Amino acid sequence: MLASGEKPEELKTEADRERAGEWYFMPHAVEGFVPARLVSENAQKRQLETEDLKQHAIMKKEYPQLDRLYWTQLRFLQRDLVMLDAMSHVRHTQT
């Protein structure tokens, strides 16, 4: 069963296939959040790969939950990022 806005396999382009997998909004020091594909995961960390093919280890202790990214969400323009379900809440971490 396809999620809303997903293409059937027969209609996917090469770009669609390159974006296959589980994608998340990964915290980024300069950009705030960037798209990243989940490569691997264990009890302590997630290994993510950004679109520029760089690998990043995100510690679960620091970021216990990452917001899932669905590329179909990004097709629709939002006047305000807080209107995106994935960006509509704030998390605080203790230091």
Q: What pLDDT digit, counting tens, does each position of 27-41 carry?
A: 998 888 899 999 999
Token pair 């990452």 is found at 66
Domains, the chain, ranges and CATH? 20-87 (2.30.30)
Which of the four pLDDT bands, split at 50, 70 and 90, describes residue 55? very high
**Are 25 and 66 in contact, with CB atoms under 8 Å apart?**
yes
pTM of the model: 0.63
* Closest C-alpha among 45, 43, 48, 42 to residue 26: 48
